[in-house]
Amino acid sequence: MKAAASRGFKFKRTWPLHALLLPAVVCTFVFHYIPIAGIVMSFQNFEPWLGLTKSEWVGLEHFRFMFMYRDSKQVIVNTFLIASMKIVFTTLASIVFSLLLNEVRKAVFKRSIQTFVYLPHFLSWVILGGILIDMLSIEGGLVNRTLHFLFGVKPILFLANGDWFRFTIILSDIWKEFGYGTIVFLAALAGINPALYESAEVDGAARWKQTLYITLPSILPICVVVITLQLGNILNAGFDQIFNLYNPLVYSKGDIIDTFVYRTGLVSGNFSFATAVGLFKSVVGMVMIVCSYQLAYRLANYRIF
């Protein structure tokens, strides 16, 4: 009785917080849990006029076709390559930039640089995509004009050549996200005991030696955590970025699972096959998230709960 009364008293004190949380819970339920029922389409030949209950049941037919269909296998490879390179190089750029920024001693200059590099993260790819298309254009684009002026290079089809498209996608994503990624590493650097650096200076260690033997080992656990947790995004190559930049000329190298599902399902109307591909991605992503948390716990003793 006392425990129930205590819970009732706590709820009377915290009900405004529950009320604030309610809209988010409702939105999550409506937009994330109710659509789960649509997974059944991946096991049917879904017809919109028949609905989920009357469409023909075909079992695993769409999944078999997915692994036989050359285009679907290619988009899985593209997704894995683009996403993995984004994770590796963006994380590496964030670490290097954090180390360099940590050496800046003037606070005003340091904060100005931080603000400048954080800014692209908050811009939509709709905006950045339009800017990149103009800058990389072969007809008067700033990048091609600069390359021609400095090195005499002929115009490069950055967005119409598969290999250059991958390079452009990865480099532009690094530019957009590496600044925001430095927040975690700067916090880790701020937590290093200054006495370690003072002792190293007394022993005659220069800045490079201090970085090599004090800074890097101190932030290694957080680096391991960040990289392992990113494994859960190994099949998220950035739909909004690629959708705003790609075209049929680069499908062979730049098409990813999300854009493939969009074209197959919403544009071509093949809802069942698109759902099967999306379900495959979701299952693999869930497995990778579970594995990444286990790795983070084993390698860096990191746990959420």
- Per residue in 96-130, pLDDT (tens digit) is 999 999 888 888 888 888 888 988 999 999 999 99
| Confidence band of 6 (pLDDT split at 50, 70, 90) | low
146 with 242, same domain? yes
86 with 36, same domain? no
Buried/exposed code over 127-142 (b: 16+ C-beta within 10 A; e: otherwise): ebbeebeeebbeeebe
32 with 120, same domain? no
Is the separation of the CB atoms in 228 and 294 below 8 Å?
A: no
9 with 123, same domain? no
| Number of folded domains that form the chain | 2
pLDDT of the residue at 148: 87
- Structural domain includes residue 65: no
- Structural domain includes residue 269: yes
135 with 219, same domain? yes
pLDDT digits (tens, 9 = 90+) for 141-175: 899 999 888 888 888 889 998 889 999 999 999 99
Q: Does the predicted TM-score (pTM) go above 0.75?
A: yes
Q: Which residue range(s) make up the domain with 12?
A: 1-59
Query: Which structure tokens are listed for 245?
Result: 């930049």
Which of these, 260, 239, 262, lies nearest to 251 by C-alpha position? 260
pLDDT digits (tens, 9 = 90+) for 46-65: 888 888 888 889 888 988 88
42 with 112, same domain? no
